[in-house]
Structures are given as C-alpha cells and as structure tokens.
Structure 1
C-alpha cells in the first residue's frame, strides 16, 4: 500500500496495475530526439507512439534508498496519475528508473528490472487540470560532487491527459479514464547532456499557479552483478 499526504488529509492506495507511457511527447520532434538518445545506447525504435509498458505493481516504492542491480540504471522524472478506489484521479511525481544496458535488449524488460520511486505527496487532478500544461517538471543528479540539472520542461511537452487516457488499453481503462487502482507514469522530457547514470536522483513537479511543489529524492544502493 502507498500512502500520500494532500491538502485535506491522506490518501491510501493499493495499486492493481502499473503502466508507463513511452514516446508520449506532444511534439513529435521531441519524441524523435528521445528516440535518438536511446538509439545511441542501442535501443530499437518503438513500433508505435505512444506505447504503454506494463510493469509489476510491486516495483512502486516510496523509499529514499533503492537497491538496483549493476551501475547502468538512470532515472526519468514523470508526472504520475493514480486512480483511487472511487475512480478519483490524483497526481504525484515518480521516476521511471530504467536499466540502460538491458534496454538495448528489450525496453519492457529493462523497465521491469528497476524499482519506480514515487513521492509521498499528491494533488487531486481536478485542482490542476485547467493549468496542467503550465506545470514544470525537473530532475537533478549528482555529478562530480555537484548537483546538476538533468531534465527541465513542462507538461505541455507531453501528450495532454485526455489524449493519453483515450488510448489506454484494457485493463487500465474504464469509461474513458484510468481504471480504479491503476497507476500511470505519463512520459518524460529529454535530458540535458545525454542519458547517464547517477547514484542520486531528485525530481519535482512545480505548480506555478497554486505555488506548490511535489518532490522526491532517492539514492541508489548498487548491487554487484555476480558472473
């Protein structure tokens, strides 16, 4: 069970299904850029855009320290939609941490290998729906002992929520929206300086209209790969 604080209390969610929207940029030039970034790592281009990669719900975690196998993983900041038991939509921030070495073999497999850190706070989607595109998303990594901006953009760069939800496959969809108990990571923005690993990853969604921020940070505890 995941627990989130919000403006009027707490939300407890027992996820039933988790999916990650891939290649979900609104600007196809941006999508092409991200595909080219991954192609440099040997990742095959997608068969269609967007794609919804299924990941085991157990991969969602709110821990600050996350164990990962090897040193080839890196995070991606994403807005995360959640549907509670009543079908109410909520928003938080999450990281689609992915094993980049395995990604060259299979994107879906690489996503399943890594935990998906998620924040401990959430907003109701209807509170931000009218200014969704203005919400800023960013991530910061540790590099040579310095905090470096890794990603920076707005949700206007990604497919809008109605368009994304309209394309959801079963069993993620219900009556044109996210089915109760489902969690959806909604896509990311390009990196600055290329995709690269870091043992520290922090991420945030900033709402400039209501003046508030969702944030989370985690550290990777690397597990040795035994051969």
Structure 2
C-alpha cells in the first residue's frame, strides 16, 4: 500500500444493506452557504458583532485536514465554548459513487473569532454511519429535513429543509471545476440557522437527515472536556 493510506477510511451502510467505503483524500467545508445570500449577509453582520471576521466572498470553501472526517461517538474539546453545526455531507466513495449523509461540523467558537479557517481545523467533522445515493434524493432536497439537537434531552436547536442550503449539485459543479469530483472527496454543506434561545455549548450534539421515502440518517456524540493543560 502506498503511504497516503494513513488517510481515514469511512464506511457507510446504504439503504440496500451494502457497504460503501471511502478513503478520505480531501475534506472541504462550505460556509455561508444559504441559498438566500441576502440572509447570509445578514448572518455575517451578526457574526461580525461577535468578532468573527467577515469572508471576502460567499459562499466560502475551506479545505481542512482529511483526518478530521470521523465517525465517532465522542469529541474531545479544550474548553466549554465549542458546538456543532447540522450539515449534510457529500461523499464520493472509492468506487466513484456520490453519496449523501448527515454530518456535524464541531466548531471552536473561541477560535472562530481569530479566523474561520483555523476553527474548522480545530475539531472533527463527525459523519453518520449510513448514507444514501445522492441521485436517489437529488430531485427532492426541499423535502429532506436537516435537523440538529443538543443534550441528553435532545433539545431541538436547528431544523430546515436541506434546500435552504446551496444544493449538492451546486457543489458538484464547483468540485468539477476544481478537478476534485473524484473518489476520496468529502464536502460538508455549511449550516442552517440556529435557535439562539437554546444553549449550543452542550455536552452532547446530534444531527439527522430525514427523507420521506428513505427514512432517517442520524449521528450523535458526546462532547468531552479534556483536562486542563499544564503550563
């Protein structure tokens, strides 16, 4: 085996019971990816008030370290100001099939004020263990519901049709132009509005994609504080 196979290998169960494998060669996180770009600009202004630097262009696309693509039930963090983001992930598996699954982009909100690209590299992108063929749901993304919840009580914090975000087809064109529409690519969608009345700094996060025909894909993980550093 060549040396680059230290890259993470993810496996997904498809609706027919078969298993898809992807060796992650490149992981891309979209940002500010709402379909209504006027709303996106309003969101950027809100973030600016919290000290998050505004991007030069929207939507954005941040390449992040492939090892951050993980299927895990626990995420270790350095402090109490980190939280997830409900997203979908477009995965091109080792056979070149384009899959859709649920993902949660765990983000360091403290680091985010210094630079979004940094914060994207500080915590994993957690992916679900099941996936659909994108072609099976491509024509009904407005009926696929993306949702996020927090805590043991599963308090809802995010929910919207997947079509509130730029669609996978938009990003497939971008990947095509970049020469990255090929096996080993994982692209995460950017997120939907968060309910500000719910505490996002929770010790558990979950995300689901729900389709009227194919059912539900979900993931959930504990957020675990590490010991304080010795310094």
Same fold (TM over 0.5): yes
How far apart, CA to CA, are the structure 1 residues paired with 2:87 and 2:134?
Answer: 15
How far apart, CA to CA, are the structure 1 residues paired with 2:211 and 2:167?
Answer: 16
Q: Secondary structure at the match of 2:160?
A: strand
Q: Select the residue among 126, 141, 146 that pairs with 1:132.
A: 141
Report deviation, 1:211. 4.7
Q: CA 1:186/1:180 → structure 2, altered by over 3 Å: closer, same or farther?
A: same
Report deviation, 1:68. 1.6
How far apart, CA to CA, are the structure 2 residues paired with 1:154 and 1:221?
Answer: 30
TM-score (norm 1): 0.90
Q: Give the structure 2 partner of residue 164 of structure 1.
A: 171
How far apart, CA to CA, are the structure 1 residues paired with 2:176 and 2:224?
Answer: 34
Pairwise mapping of residues 1-227 of structure 1 onto structure 2 (< 5 A)? 1-8=9-16, 9-142=18-151, 146-168=153-175, 173-174=179-180, 178-193=181-196, 196-208=200-212, 210-226=213-229, 227=231
Q: Deviations over 1:113-137 (max 9, x none)?
A: 1011110000001110111222100
> Does structure 2 retain, via aligned residues, the 8 Å contact 1:136–1:205?
yes
Structure 2 residue runs without a partner (length 5+): 1-8
Aligned length: 220
How far apart, CA to CA, are the structure 2 residues paired with 1:99 and 1:219?
Answer: 15
> Does structure 2 retain, via aligned residues, the 8 Å contact 1:79–1:205?
yes
> Does structure 1 retain, via aligned residues, the 8 Å contact 2:149–2:206?
yes
Q: Give the structure 1 partner of residue 3 of structure 2.
A: none
Q: Deviations over 1:152-195 (max 9, x none)?
A: 10112111222223234875x34xxx222100001210101167
TM-score (norm 2): 0.88
Structure 1 residue runs without a partner (length 5+): none
Q: Greater strand percent: which structure?
A: 1
